[in-house]
Amino acid sequence: MKQLWLLFISLMAALALTACGGGNSNESGEENASGSSGEENWEPEQSLEIVAPSGAGGGWDTTARMAAEGFEEESIIDQGFGVVNKEGGGGAVGWSYIAEKAGNPHHLFVASPPLLLIPLNGQSEYGHEDFTPIANMISDYGAFAVREDAPWEDLNELFDDMKENPEDITVIGESSPGSMDHIQFVKIAKAAGVDPQSIKYVSAQDGSTMTNLLNGNADVYSSGVTETIEQVRAGEIRVLGVTAEERMEGDVVEDFPTAKEQGIDETFVNWRGFFGPPDMSDAEIAYYEEKFQELNESNHWAETREKFAWNEMYMDSEEYRQFLDEEKESMQKLLNDLNIQGE
Amino acid sequence: MGSLEGILSGVQLAFSFQGILFVFLGVMAGTLIGMMPGLGPISAIAIMIPLTYTMDPPVALVLMAGVYYGAVFGGSTSSILLNAPGISGTVATSFDGYPMAQRGEAGKALAIAAIASFFGGTVSVVLLMLFAPVLSSVAIVFGPPEYFALMVLGLTAISSLADGSTLKALISAVVGVMAVTIGIDSQTGTTRFTFGNPNLLEGIDFLVVALGLFALAEVCALIINRHQSSQNKGSIGSLKLTKKEVKEMGGPMGRQSLLGFVLGILPGAGATIASFIGYITEKKIARKPEEFGKGAVKGVAAPETANNAATSGAFVPLLSLGIPGSGTTAVLLGALLVMDIQPGPLLMTDQPELFWGVIVSMYIGNIFLLILNLPLIPYIAKILAIPRPMLISLVIMFSMIGVYSISFNTFDLYLLLLFGAVGYAMRLLSFPAAPFILAFILGGMMEESFRQAMTMSNNDISIFFTQPIALGMLIAGFLSFIVPILQGIRSKKKNTV
């Protein structure tokens, strides 16, 4: 009986260890990682870690896992990859983890507009300036959806109504005020002449956004394009506009009009790319730039993009940095309009 | 209403060799992971995601669903044996399960939990099969005002969770609500009570509080009172239930499998609220409510039936609307998206094999769970025969692993110790921990839905009184809170006269 017990306990312990094993696949061998920077050519000396600063299954997680898969399948990088989820604070927990890895280029992370918005809202001490942009890979866009029986036929009708009776229209989104779902709506609405402060925005972070649109508690749903597709196909909701520059390609989404073609000259890009820790040398940046560009041009990545309905949006390190600085400025303006202030 | 062909293709999938194999593997992995204190369905599914990338989507979904309800099924074990609930859905099980185990009836408590889980799981699969298409419209009737009212109704349980001083129970609950406000406020994005500490931005995880207040506080008590040897070291008692006990379970199981299923359908409510409301309603209608909290058969059967019934219920919004009803189904949804399955209103017509396959596989899964769990009980219950010092170390170790695996953040471990100390202090001062944890679980959602509703109504409070469902629940909540207090006052008066 005693042996049976020991067996059971060791089984439980083993299971528990595998349960958290995914978390730190890469703690060992960090000591010998430094000292290589500054040389002409650089190559990783150990397996690489890609941090998704969110839980498993989300957009960041999927991007990180698909990139790791692409690098391995196309044999672009010989080292092994570990994708690690560092969840918390809308990304802040993962960012402070990477910030501590300054000078160790074996740790990368995936990011998107929250990397600008969360620091601006005073919820993270680290912002994009603290990290090394390596390459942007893809873009996604926002969509504004209403119920099938809603009175508005296009964005202009909605916004005209909002100008007159802002208190009658509830906009719902997943993220907190001042973060992505809110800001993308405000950005477009403001360009159409709606007073940003008059917009009634409700945040539902428990996944009840679509429910509340369908049951009439909210009137407009601000989200990513992909989240709307199934309900549009089922004829439950309509998409009044997307934040893309041009019509998107693909089933269903090709029917979504852009804000631009409705005469509202504004876009919102949900860019997604990869960053490294602070203090990376030029050789290290050059190495990764080349590898990500190779991934971007590979067939495998083209298939991945198609599978998840992502759009190609490649930028190298320098372009990316400039783009981010400009984006941050425009976000800051919107947040000022909304009277949301970080520290 | 789901053509017969669709159901048949689902039956075919579920009874195929692959289907049976993977549902078996799923429920086995789920129930083992669920048994460990601190590891619940979310971690169980997260572990499985990478394994399923290369699988056939329907098979992968059968596997993951099995892991999910398997983990809920097994989750009661650590609550009963160690007072260390691994998921919020089994907190209520510990109220009577742990006293029962301490009384030397661990085997019986586990058997009741297994049978109740099986019953709740199976009844709700039948309901799921019959009504899934119709019920999807029920899933969306609840908006912020209704959720607020539901949370209020749940919170009124505090008055019935108080053993002893109602005042102390209320204080404990208020502190619980206060603790849940720590972190980024969802409606304004402002940080509250974080004192500039980034580790607190996301708030405090439920598991940290539950394992601290229950498991670690119990460990403290065991260490400090180690010289008073407990009367029944390691005795697990008989597994056999008496006829009377089986009879006693019947009522709660029947009622709670229905109620649990309905609550499970509501996105956001889920297993936790189902188990608490199940526990409370049974206590309210019981002929001897004073037995609850001291190891009552009904006190184990009710929450265990309800939480398993709710788990199947949670598949209604997920599969028929593509709306995740809980943290766990959200992870599940993420996993489905990676596999190129987009659950939504059209899933049932587009991929009937997948839809019905998962549902049919749940019957098989529940039977496997019962067969797996019942014979294992004597061995699992033997955990109590482990020498005290070793058992205590194991509980501490598993609690730490469980907490660390949420976010891989050592800060949470310090918080866990802090809550352990708070929990022990509360015991010394005889403040009950149950109201604290209940308020902690419900308080966050209550505040969020209150403020969402207020924004929607432009700060007009009548939004809660003009909707029939919300109003009905608020009245029920008010009565359930005030009646026990009035009764208490009346009986006190009688005593003094």
For chain A, the first-to-last Cα distance in angstroms comes to: 61
pLDDT, tens digit (0-9, with 9 covering 90-100), for B158-192: 777 766 788 898 999 999 999 999 988 888 878 88
Chain B residues with CB-CB distance to A62 below 8 A = 334, 337-338
> Any idea where the domains of chain B sit in the sequence?
4-489
Question: Are the Cβ atoms of B409 and A307 closer than 8 angstroms?
Answer: no
If one compares B491 and A20, the residue with the highest pLDDT of the two is: B491
Q: State the count of interchain CB pairs (< 8 A) between A and B.
A: 183
Contacts 24+ apart (CB under 8 A), B457-461: B458/A167, B458/A200
CA B383 to chain A, closest CA, distance in angstroms equals 8
Question: CB-CB: which of A8, A121, A123 is closest to B379?
Answer: A8
Which pLDDT does position A10 carry in this prediction? 54
**pLDDT exceeds cutoff 60 at B93:** yes
Residue in the structure block whose two tokens are 């010989």: A78
* pLDDT confidence bin for B198, thresholds 50/70/90: confident
Question: Are the Cβ atoms of B458 and A62 closer than 8 angstroms?
Answer: no
Enter the DSSP assignment of B214: I
DSSP string, B281-305: HHHHH-S-GGGTTS--HHHHHHHHH
If one compares B5 and B259, the residue with the highest pLDDT of the two is: B259
Is the Cβ–Cβ distance between B334 and A65 less than 8 Å? no
Q: Which residues of B49-62 are buried (b: 16+ CB within 10 A; e: fewer)?
A: beebeebebbbbbb
Q: Which stretches of B197-350 are DSSP H helices?
A: 206-210, 217-224, 243-265, 270-285, 297-313, 315-321, 327-338, 347-350
Which pLDDT does position B230 carry in this prediction? 56
Nearest to A308 by CA among A143, A174, A138: A138
**pLDDT exceeds cutoff 50 at A38:** no
Mean pLDDT of B246-261: 92
Is the Cβ–Cβ distance between A236 and A146 less than 8 Å? no
CA B497 to chain A, closest CA, distance in angstroms equals 52
Mean pLDDT of B147-152: 89
**pLDDT exceeds cutoff 70 at B395:** yes
Any residues with CB less than 8 A from the CB of B491 and at least 6 apart, and which? none
**pLDDT exceeds cutoff 70 at B3:** no
Q: Across all residues in chain A, what is the average pLDDT? A: 86
Question: Are the Cβ atoms of A207 and B325 closer than 8 angstroms?
Answer: yes
Question: Are the Cβ atoms of A230 and B344 closer than 8 angstroms?
Answer: yes
Contacts 24+ apart (CB under 8 A), A326-333: A327/A113, A327/A116, A327/A271, A328/A116, A328/A120, A328/A127, A328/A128, A330/A187, A331/A113, A331/A116, A331/A117, A331/A120, A331/A183, A332/A120
CATH topology match: A48-139+271-338 vs A141-269:
yes
**pLDDT exceeds cutoff 70 at A34:** no
**pLDDT exceeds cutoff 50 at A337:** yes
Share above pLDDT 90 across residues of chain B, in percent, rounded to a whole number: 30
**pLDDT exceeds cutoff 90 at A249:** no
If one compares A88 and A323, the residue with the highest pLDDT of the two is: A323
Lowest-pLDDT range of B114-128, B218-232, B460-474: B218-232
Is the Cβ–Cβ distance between A241 and A144 less than 8 Å? yes
Task: Pick the residue of B138, B186, B272, B447 with the most A CBs within 10 A to test the interface with A by mutation.
Answer: B186
> Any idea where the domains of chain A sit in the sequence?
48-139+271-338, 141-269
Which pLDDT does position A3 carry in this prediction? 53
Kind and range of the H or E run holding A272: strand A269-276
Which pLDDT does position A134 carry in this prediction? 96
pLDDT, tens digit (0-9, with 9 covering 90-100), for A133-151: 999 999 999 999 999 999 9
* pLDDT confidence bin for A35, thresholds 50/70/90: very low
Domain A48-139+271-338 has CATH 3.10.20.520: no
Which pLDDT does position B496 carry in this prediction? 62
Question: Are the Cβ atoms of A92 and B198 closer than 8 angstroms?
Answer: yes
Domain A141-269 has CATH 3.40.190.10: yes
* pLDDT confidence bin for B229, thresholds 50/70/90: low
Residue in the structure block whose two tokens are 């609220």: B273
Question: CB-CB: which of A20, A206, A212 is closest to B401?
Answer: A20
Question: Are the Cβ atoms of A22 and B50 closer than 8 angstroms?
Answer: yes
Chain B residues with CB-CB distance to A250 below 8 A = none
Mean pLDDT of A187-210: 90
CA A320 to chain B, closest CA, distance in angstroms equals 27
The encoded tokens of residue A320 equal 């990316």
CA B161 to chain A, closest CA, distance in angstroms equals 27
CA A38 to chain B, closest CA, distance in angstroms equals 32
Chain B residues with CB-CB distance to A229 below 8 A = 342, 344
pLDDT, tens digit (0-9, with 9 covering 90-100), for B28-69: 999 988 887 777 787 788 778 778 777 888 888 899 999 999
Which backbone phi and psi does B455 adopt, to 5 degrees?
A: -65, -45
Question: Are the Cβ atoms of B382 and A211 closer than 8 angstroms?
Answer: no
Q: Across all residues in chain B, what is the average pLDDT? A: 85
